[in-house]
């Protein structure tokens, strides 16, 4: 695997950026793009090694966040198909769906006091509570996962860690919210009054197509990661859980083997229920009390890269 900051996938992302963003060639030739860390002040002691931060291709804000999201009623979301994936969030303002076909092109939605982020390289959709959320796409990666930045201090934040790794806010963590990565059909069935992010974003993008081609299904990784495991296909989806400082992954391929859609498990004496919908390729985890826990649906390689000490659920025939 190449460790060059301009490997073939970086060049691919750059090509997409140059194609869709007017004036991008000027930025490239004027030298704005040339800074290794997109002109962010990394400081002397970031929380992760500088050698493991990689340039993803576009410059800072080259992938534009959606800062003034417009939501529509479900009945008006005629651009969505039943099988389309959404990041579903049920908050104080009710249920909202953020289609991945839009997030693929923007990666961040600043929605009031919530920031919704999606990293296409890791398959990770996450939401965090952050007063007056105002985050942008840095164009930098760690373990192939996006680094966000907050526009107030320009601190860099690891999406999967939910933590600032450099800048004035280094070491601070964001509160992770419960989201569900599921099909539009399933989310709509569970939340018929949901609001949906409009595809009228103010940007000219082809939301009917993904800019990442077959990346989701092939085995290729285009950026280095610290830890790798060949236990599963790199893009095998897992539900990842952190509970009381312990990490555990529930691979879809293992959950598919069960004849029931509810699996009972125990982590260090804490009983949990893993609810998995094989038809809609989604699930959630809750305590016996009914409390739903924040979890992360991701590719196997991404979960393992950040949590090599993870336990892994395997189906056992009783």
Position 93 pLDDT exceeds 60: yes
For 11-24, what is the mean pLDDT? 49
Structure letter (DSSP) for residue 68: S
Q: β-strand 156-158 against 163-166: which pairing, if any? A: antiparallel
The overall average pLDDT reported for the chain is 90
Two tokens, residue 228? 């790798």
Share of the chain above pLDDT 70, in %: 89
The domain locations on the chain are 8-55, 71-197, 237-312
Residue 309 has pLDDT above 70, yes or no: yes
Q: Count Cβ atoms within 10 A of the Cβ of residue 82 and give its class: 0-12 exposed, 13-18 middle, 19 or more buried.
A: exposed
Half-sphere exposure of 169 (CA within 13 A, CB side): 18
Residue tagged 């992954």 (tokens) = 249
**Confidence (pTM):** 0.89
**What separation in angstroms does the CA of 153 have from each of 157, 175, 190, 222, 249?**
11, 18, 39, 30, 34
What are the tokens at 38?
């997109």
* Res. 22 pLDDT band, cuts 50 70 90: very low
- Per-residue pLDDT tens over the stretch 158-187: 999 999 999 999 999 999 999 999 999 999
Mean pLDDT of 206-229: 95
Contacts by 130-135, CB closer than 8 A, 24 or more apart: 130/174, 130/175, 134/67, 134/110, 135/65, 135/108, 135/110
């Amino acid at each position: 695997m190449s460790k060059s900051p301009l490997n073939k996938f970086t060049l691919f992302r750059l090509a997409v950026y140059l194609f869709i963003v007017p004036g991008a060639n000027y930025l490239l030739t004027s030298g704005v793009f040339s800074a290794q860390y997109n002109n962010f002040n990394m400081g002397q002691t970031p929380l992760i090694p500088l050698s493991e931060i990689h340039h993803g291709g576009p410059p800072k804000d080259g992938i534009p966040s959606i800062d003034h999201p417009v939501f529509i009623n479900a009945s008006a979301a005629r651009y969505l198909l039943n099988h389309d994936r959404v990041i579903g969030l049920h908050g104080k303002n009710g249920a909202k769906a953020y289609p991945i076909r839009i997030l693929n092109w923007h990666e961040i939605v600043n929605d009031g006091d919530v920031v919704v982020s999606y990293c296409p390289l890791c398959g990770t959709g996450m939401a965090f509570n952050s007063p007056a959320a105002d985050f942008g796409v840095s164009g930098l990666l760690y373990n192939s996962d996006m680094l966000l930045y907050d526009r107030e201090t320009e601190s860099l934040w690891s999406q999967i860690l939910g933590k600032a790794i450099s800048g004035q806010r280094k070491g601070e963590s964001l509160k992770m919210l419960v989201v569900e990565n599921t099909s539009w059909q399933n989310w709509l069935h569970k939340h018929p009054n949901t609001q949906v992010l409009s595809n009228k974003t103010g940007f000219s993008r082809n939301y009917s197509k993904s800019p990442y081609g077959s990346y989701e299904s092939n085995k290729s990784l285009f950026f280095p990661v610290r830890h790798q495991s060949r236990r599963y296909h790199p893009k095998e989806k897992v539900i990842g859980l952190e509970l009381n400082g312990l990490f555990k992954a529930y691979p879809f391929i293992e959950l598919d083997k069960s004849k029931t859609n509810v699996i009972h498990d125990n982590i260090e004496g804490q009983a949990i229920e893993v609810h998995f919908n094989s038809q809609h390729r989604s699930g959630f985890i809750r305590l016996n009390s009914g409390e739903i826990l924040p979890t992360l649906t991701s590719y196997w390689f991404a979960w393992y890269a950040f949590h090599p000490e993870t336990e892994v659920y395997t189906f056992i025939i009783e």
